[in-house]
Amino acid sequence: MAKYYILLVTLLLGLWANAQDRPILQGKCVNKDGRAVENVSVYCHDTLLISITDENGGFTFENAKAGDKLRFAHMAYEPKYYTVKEKDLSGKPVTISLQTKQHELFEVQVTANAPHIVFDNPVRSVLDYVISDDGIYLIAYRMRNTALLHLSFEMDTLHELTISSSYKNLYRDFYGFIHVISNDNVCQVGFTETTSGQKKEMFLHLPISSEKFYHDYAPIVAASDKVVITGRYAFYGLEQYYYCITPTADTSYLLEHIVDEDWRDELFFMSRTGGLDKYTLYEMNFYPTRFYIYNPIYSLDNQFYLFDYTDGETIIYDEVGKELDRHPLTFHHRKKWDGTTEVDKRWKHKMIVDRAKKEFYTLFVDDGLCTLMHIDLPTGNATPVIDLRGYPFAEQLRVYNGVLYFLYPTGNNHRQALFQVKLDDF
């Protein structure tokens, strides 16, 4: 009996070792601007579906071998083909760059309640935009001729500034200041003013390195008149800490500590017993956001709103972090056939804040169709507001003063335009 037991253990250990030694191809799909592309179907030898990219653009192909021919398919991008090389199996991830389809989009009937283009330039593409209380800031890209535009909400150009084509992203910080970002440095947007305080000319402050900018700004997630809140992760992103810091008094205290106990305990047990194979370790290092719990916090009118999806509740604090109220948060769960609940895979772990109307929204995506959902704070439920039928895989959705904005390709030369639609009529 002991001999058979030893034989069985040996066989299982052999199978486990073989599983660890399986050649694995890791990769990521990005668009021409380097942003991750989700829901790309990855086929082997044109027919066998092996993976679908996640929200970080990542895909995995187990048992890959040199010479395998991969096809990447997405309804908004041209098909892409790639032949696996021997060096791709060494652990270094492969980056697949996709190009927007060049054919004209389907005609969409434009009515008063339907999305319509609000900014489109025949030779420029909108790379990024942010919304501030004084209008919309937008980067319009053209090779060797990139412009930073400040638009009114009626889409009148208030200010325009030619900037380096290396600047491709915008960032609105927790105090409302606007920054333009390149791979190497970051500049804050400023204005000269008249004696009456009216904005005259737009300019960029002296740049600081991207490394210093992210070091200074990345930990800060929200701010009030009295404190700033910093956040950090621990244990592979399965623990999340929020701290209140009082800059004037140079003091700090813990606001909230959130833990995904089930997944953390399981991962801890696996690490102690040697059950973590190199595939899981690779995933944790190359795609860390797959493990990070998602519990964002926002500041509105000197109050903080923490959406604790891990524990299923919304917590509201005053301007110094004192708890005011708690509400259930349930819309992101769905019931299974056995009565238990699980996170709805259609929910995109993303929130959109309308700072003008102090409303919160989230996104559900099903087969590329984005549905904007309004979150009701007292009940924790979410109701559909609008689905972007005819605009699959719309990007960078934002809401301000009851208006939804998003970027979407237009024409046949890879341009993106800014669209908007009023939500009050839905």
| Confidence band for 367, pLDDT divided at 50, 70 and 90 | low
Asked if residue 265 belongs to a domain, the reply is yes
Average pLDDT over residues 106-124: 60
Complete DSSP assignment for 134-161:
TEEEEEEE-TT-EEEEEE-TT--EEEEE
Dihedral over Cα of 191, 192, 195, 200: its sign: negative
Rounded to 5°, angle at Cα 288 from 283 and 292: 125
Distances (CA, A) of 233 to 136, 221, 332, 397: 32, 13, 22, 26
Query: Element (H or E) spanning 338, and its range?
Result: none
**Residue 23 or residue 135, greater confidence:** 135
Asked if residue 185 belongs to a domain, the reply is no
**Residue 396 or residue 269, greater confidence:** 396
Q: Contact at 8 Å (CB) between 418 and 120?
A: yes
Could you say which of 97, 122, 151 is where a domain stops?
Answer: 97
State the pLDDT at residue 283.
56
Q: Is the pLDDT of residue 53 over 90?
A: no
pLDDT digits (tens, 9 = 90+) for 249-259: 778 899 999 99
Asked if residue 110 belongs to a domain, the reply is no
CB atoms within 10 A of CB 374: 20
pLDDT digits (tens, 9 = 90+) for 321-349: 999 999 999 999 988 787 788 888 888 88
Could you say which of 64, 97, 130 is where a domain stops?
Answer: 97
State the pLDDT at residue 405.
94
Complete DSSP assignment for 41-90:
EEEETTTEEEEE--TTSEEEEET--TT-EEEEEETTEEEEEEE--GGGGG
Query: Element (H or E) spanning 179, and its range?
Result: strand 178-181
Q: Nearest CA to 293 among 256, 254, 264?
A: 264
Going by DSSP bridges, is the β-strand pair 199-204/185-193 parallel, antiparallel, or unpaired?
antiparallel
Average pLDDT over residues 173-185: 90
Asked if residue 125 belongs to a domain, the reply is no
pLDDT digits (tens, 9 = 90+) for 134-165: 999 999 887 677 899 999 999 899 999 999 88
Asked if residue 29 belongs to a domain, the reply is yes
Average pLDDT over residues 357-365: 92
Dihedral over Cα of 196, 202, 203, 205: its sign: positive
State the pLDDT at residue 76.
73
- Maximum mean pLDDT: which of 23-32, 116-125, 282-291, 397-406: 397-406
CATH number (domain holding residue 85): 2.60.40.10
Query: Element (H or E) spanning 356, and its range?
Result: none
State the pLDDT at residue 57.
86
Q: Contact at 8 Å (CB) between 138 and 105?
A: no
**Structural domain count of the chain:** 2
Q: Contact at 8 Å (CB) between 161 and 205?
A: no
Could you say which of 272, 304, 329 is where a domain stops?
Answer: 329
State the pLDDT at residue 412.
59
Q: Is the pLDDT of residue 22 over 80?
A: no
For residue 49, give its domain range: 2-97
Stretch among 188-197, 276-285, 318-327, 328-337 having the lowest mean pLDDT: 276-285
State the pLDDT at residue 413.
63
| Confidence band for 106, pLDDT divided at 50, 70 and 90 | very low
- Tell how far CA 390 is from the center of its chain: 22
pTM above 0.85, yes or no: no
| Confidence band for 390, pLDDT divided at 50, 70 and 90 | confident
Asked if residue 137 belongs to a domain, the reply is no
Q: Is the pLDDT of residue 354 over 90?
A: yes
Q: What mean pLDDT value characterizes the chain?
A: 82
Number of H helices, E strands in the chain: 4, 34
Average pLDDT over residues 257-285: 67
Q: Is the pLDDT of residue 15 over 60?
A: no
State the pLDDT at residue 271.
62
Rounded to 5°, angle at Cα 266 from 265 and 267: 90
Asked if residue 207 belongs to a domain, the reply is no
**Residue 368 or residue 96, greater confidence:** 96
Q: Nearest CA to 350 among 55, 74, 75?
A: 55
Asked if residue 389 belongs to a domain, the reply is no
Q: Is 273 left (phi over 0), alpha (psi -120 to 50) or beta?
A: alpha
Q: Is the pLDDT of residue 278 over 60?
A: no
Stretch among 246-255, 287-296, 403-412, 415-424 having the lowest mean pLDDT: 287-296
pLDDT digits (tens, 9 = 90+) for 197-231: 888 899 999 999 999 998 888 889 999 989 999 99
Q: Contact at 8 Å (CB) between 98 and 29?
A: yes
